[in-house]
Amino acid sequence: MRKRSRKLAIKLPDSDTIGLKFIKRLIPTLSKKKLYATLGKVQSYPEGKEKTEILEMLKKEFEKRNIDYLW
């Protein structure tokens, strides 16, 4: 059986996405489990947010979990 890879990205209002690779570049030490938990939280935020607002939310989530990020 082939494992299906899950595409993981945060959809942004301007049809841009913050992808998993982008986030992995920012936080090389981040485990997949932590990343999914964090992104799940951020994806549940309301629609119509600006890209910067979503990045701010990500930062807050990362800080809550004591995850170091590079931006």
Structure tokens of 59? 């930062």
Confidence of residue 39 (pLDDT cuts 50, 70, 90): low
16-29 pLDDT per residue, tens: 455 666 666 666 66
Look at the block and give the residue holding tokens 């590079």: 70
In Å, what is the CA distance from 42 to each residue of 1, 20, 48? Answer: 32, 13, 13
Look at the block and give the residue holding tokens 């607002």: 53
- Mean pLDDT of the region 67-71: 57
Question: Is the per-residue pLDDT at 36 higher than 60?
Answer: yes
